[in-house]
Amino acid sequence: MNYSILETKPSVNYELLDSGDGEKLERYGEIVIARPDPQALWRKHLPAKEWQKANAYFTRSSTDASWSTRGSVPERWAIELGGLKFWIKLSAFKHTGLFPEQLGNWQWAEELVQNTKRSVNVLNLFGYTGGASLAAAKAGAEVVHVDGSKVAIGWARDNAELSGLKDKPVRWILDDATAFVKREIKRGHKYDGIILDPPAFGHGPNKELWKIEDSFLPLLDLCKQVLTSEPLFFLVNGYASGYSALAYKNSLGDLLKEYGGEVEIGELTIAEAGSGRLLPCGIFARWSA
């Protein structure tokens, strides 16, 4: 077993400028935003005047949570990350439509697809705005992208068009993840790679309840039934669920027994510009043949 800390480093279009006191300061293209981050359990490096220059900041109180802006902030704007392009938007729940810490996972999956000598089918569950789907499609895979949010599906399709991948073989499916995989089992459809990026809590398009402590293992068992006889990879991400990467590693133990290969686990982080300090952003476990 390998334990890794994946770092998304500062780049032309994205950088973590500072963090601390439960907040983070980021630059997406030319727009600088400040928003809460409970993992930033340390003091800020930059002075308050630098934080006050942010174009937008997210505040939360007992009665309200919203973005406030200074000057003109576009409704959405485009940036490039990892050879892909994304529309950034200040959406509810402090999100921007992009999780930059996932860059290392995208590159890992992209490399696996590129290096194999056969066609590859990838299933991306809880696909959000499409980063992993676009990386796999760019590498040459056929992709099925599933999400329970109509808004997220539309956003992902816009990102595909923006990235010049509109004509790649990606199926965009608005559905509950568990319900979809059950139907795939009945249809006999199989996948060489599966990406599972579940929230701690959520709902499907028809109000299907998702609670990771109740729903994760049943879905994982279903996913294993739609793997091909020679699968390529299986990736599980974790956010704000309170679990260790070791827990996800253990959940992938059956794949090691049946197919061999290796499991790598670790943390997803973003490296702060200047200091190099790492902001923890999530955990992962990934199996590859």
The residue ranking higher by pLDDT, 32 or 212, is 32
Residue 283 pLDDT exceeds 80: yes
Please tell me the predicted confidence (pLDDT) of residue 199.
85
Q: How confident is the model at residue 180 (pLDDT cuts 50, 70, 90)?
A: very high
Q: What is the pLDDT of residues 51-79, one digit of tens each?
A: 999 999 998 877 788 999 998 999 999 99
> What predicted TM-score, i.e. pTM, was given to this entire model?
0.96
Calculate mean pLDDT across residues 107-133: 97
Residue 94 pLDDT exceeds 70: yes
Residue 106 pLDDT exceeds 80: yes
Rounded Cα–Cα distance for residues 280 and 143 (Å):
29
Please tell me the predicted confidence (pLDDT) of residue 249.
95
Provide the b/e sequence for 87-112 (b: ≥16 CB within 10 Å). Answer: bbbbeeebebbbbbbbbbbbebbbeb
Residue 146 pLDDT exceeds 70: yes
Rounded Cα–Cα distance for residues 219 and 98 (Å):
25
Residue 1 pLDDT exceeds 70: no
Taking all residues of the chain, what is their mean pLDDT, rounded to a whole number? 95
From residue 165, give the alpha-carbon distance in Å to each of 84, 103, 134: 9, 18, 7
Calculate mean pLDDT across residues 208-237: 95
Placement of tokens 């729903």 in the chain: 215
Q: How confident is the model at residue 92 (pLDDT cuts 50, 70, 90)?
A: confident
Please tell me the predicted confidence (pLDDT) of residue 201.
84
Please tell me the predicted confidence (pLDDT) of residue 241.
66
The residue ranking higher by pLDDT, 192 or 2, is 192
Query: Quick check: 137 and 169 in contact, CB under 8 A?
Result: yes
From residue 248, give the alpha-carbon distance in Å to each of 30, 90, 140, 226, 259: 37, 31, 28, 19, 17
Q: In the chain, pLDDT over 90 holds for what percent of residues?
A: 88
Residue 203 pLDDT exceeds 90: no
Q: Give the chain's radius of gyration (CA, Å).
A: 19
Calculate mean pLDDT across residues 81-94: 95
Residue 264 pLDDT exceeds 90: yes
Placement of tokens 């609670």 in the chain: 211
Residue 240 pLDDT exceeds 70: no
Rounded Cα–Cα distance for residues 197 and 106 (Å):
12
Residue 178 pLDDT exceeds 70: yes
Delineate the domains of the chain, giving CATH numbers in brackets: 2-94 (2.60.40.1180), 100-288 (3.40.50.150)
Please tell me the predicted confidence (pLDDT) of residue 154.
98
